[in-house]
Amino acid sequence: MSKQDNRSISAALATATCTLLGSGVVQPAVAQEEPDWDFNTSLLYYGEDGDRVKDFSVSAIARRMFVDDRFLTLSLTVDGLTGATPSGAIRQDVPQTFTRPSGNAAYTVPGGVLPLDDTFKDTRVAISGGWQQPIGETSLINVGASASKEYDYMHLGVNAKYARDFNQRNTTLSAGIALSMDSLDPVGGAPTPLTPMLDVGDTSNRLGDQDKDVLDVVFGVTQVISRNLVVQANYSYSMSDGYLTDPYKVLSLVDGTTGDTLLRTLTPGVEGPSHQYLFENRPDERTKHSLYGQAKYYMNGKVLDASYRYMTDDWDIDSHTVDLRYRIPFGTDSYIEPHLRFYTQTEAEFYQLSISDAQPLPSFASADYRLGDFDAITAGVKYGWRTRNDNEMSLRVEAYRQAGTVPGSQIIGNQASRDNYPDLNAVIVQFGYRF
């Protein structure tokens, strides 16, 4: 046996092949093995106008395929939050002073300005993992766990989903369940509900750590209608139990006739609130039902994604969401996708702008604008493109605007002359890279 010398035979073979196959330019092969891991990463900026909340977030989802369509998903998100959020107190013509949630300091808001609490400089880390595998020919199961931590909040959760195909995979039925066990450790401690905001250093009305459990159940059906159309419908049930109040939000205690916030007698030498404010209180239970429908329709290269969601709960909030996306390809390597979202919700039963001293104290009350009556619109555009090494990048820019109204029956006296509902204007910018 001759010595096994490993020369390259490529040149000789290429010549011989040319001779055999005759003329005609043969293009060089372009092939690449698919990597085991798939990554989806993004950088997000969310910014509300003025001094309000700004969020910067980095996320990554990693997916690895194993034999037989089994895969592992891992994700990590890190959020950095700054900026101020409405505290629930209403505008006054005079300056107002509030004690910070920590109870260690106070801050003053000028007259005519919506009171914002800027205590929220926070970092949140969230991780999750999931495993999916097929069962037999037509079913699959997905199990996962999630956890997140910020300095005053911790979340732990598990979830599972089962899906089964019918009718040659034209119909899929799915059922999923998720359980969250969250705990709150608010700065300064959770305040006793509907008690007054106290002087700096006075933490006598504080409670300890709080818990919140959430159970989510989702049933869904996905149906292929035609070669170009697929639809999905989901019914969701959600039950929250525990501490559902926002520990940092207050309501202004106002005069029953003038509607102005009642002044507070200050102790000399002690910093504290200038007016009277009561901490909010929400029920310790909330049940939500949602019905969601989505359709994706392919029209000659363009894709229309339309969805509608109706939500109703036992806090008397009803909401409607319509989401439209229209993806238009540019050549073979990029696309543009305008996006429009309409949202409207009715106020919670216990939402009120302020608490009147002429009325008995309610059991539940909140002035949190997010439980109020408002309409919101999101308008944006996303541009996506394939990079030279066949990966995908995208950039989307969106504007989000909320405009709310306070029911006339809740407006007392001088409140009518002020702009009471904190409108929201935010910008969302997200850059994505998938490889």
Partner 1 sequence: MGSPCELVCEAPKRAHALRLTGRVAAEAWRIEEKFSRYLEGNIVARINAASGKTIEVDEETADLLDFAVTLYDLSEHRFDITSGVLRRVWRFDGSDCIPGVSEVEAVMQLVGWHRVSWQRPYLQMPAGMEIDLGGIGKEYAVDRCAALIREEGGDPCLVNFGGDLVATEAPDRRRHWKVAIEGDSATEADRIVNLKQGALATSGDARRFLLKDGRRYSHILDPTTGWPVPDAPRSITIVADTCVEAGAVSTLAMLKGAAAEGFLKAQTAAFWCRR
Partner 2 sequence: MNKTIVIAATTLLIATGCSSMGVEPWERDVLAKAEMQLTTDELEAATDDHIYFSKEASSGGRGFGGGGCGCN
Which residues of the shown chain bind partner 1 in the complex (CB under 8 A)?
2, 4, 6-10, 12-14, 16-17, 19-22, 24, 26-34, 65-68, 301, 329, 332, 386, 390
Half-sphere exposure for 48 (CA within 13 Å, toward CB): 18
Question: CA–CA separation, 177 vs 173, rounded Å?
Answer: 14
Stretch that binds partner 2, among 22-30, 108-116, 314-322, 353-361 (CB under 8 A): 314-322
Instruction: Write the interaction track for partner 2 spanning residues 229-258; mark x where CB under 8 A is met and - where it is not.
Output: -x-xxxxx-x-------x-x----------
Contact yes or no for 40/434 (Cβ under 8 A): yes
Between 236 and 414, CB nearer to partner 2: 236
Question: CA–CA separation, 267 vs 234, rounded Å?
Answer: 57
Two structure tokens written together for 237: 């049930």
Residues numbered 121-150 forming contacts with partner 2, rule: CB under 8 A: 124, 126, 128, 146-148, 150
Q: How far is the CB of 70 from partner 1 (least distance, A)?
A: 9
Q: How far is the CB of 417 from partner 2 (least distance, A)?
A: 27
- Considering the rule CB under 8 A, would residue 376 count as an interface residue with partner 2? yes
Contact yes or no for 295/230 (Cβ under 8 A): yes
Q: How far is the CB of 12 from partner 2 (least distance, A)?
A: 42
Q: How far is the CB of 222 from partner 2 (least distance, A)?
A: 7
Question: CA–CA separation, 375 vs 380, rounded Å?
Answer: 17
Between 222 and 274, CB nearer to partner 2: 222
The DSSP symbol for 267 reads P
Between 120 and 252, CB nearer to partner 2: 120
Contact yes or no for 217/235 (Cβ under 8 A): no
Among 99, 261, 290, 420, indicate the residue that binds partner 2 (CB under 8 A): 290
C-alpha distances out from residue 297 to 64, 226, 302, 310, 328, Å: 29, 9, 8, 21, 12
Contact yes or no for 208/257 (Cβ under 8 A): no
CB atoms within 10 A of CB 429: 14
Contact yes or no for 166/174 (Cβ under 8 A): no
CA angle 264, 270, 273 (to 5 degrees): 35
Residues numbered 320-349 forming contacts with partner 2, rule: CB under 8 A: 321, 327, 335, 343, 345, 348
Stretch that binds partner 2, among 177-185, 254-262, 355-363, 414-422 (CB under 8 A): 177-185
Per partner kind, with CB cut-offs from 5 to 8 A, the member of partner 1, partner 2, none near residue 28 is: partner 1
- Considering the rule CB under 8 A, would residue 89 count as an interface residue with partner 2? no
Residue type, 30: V
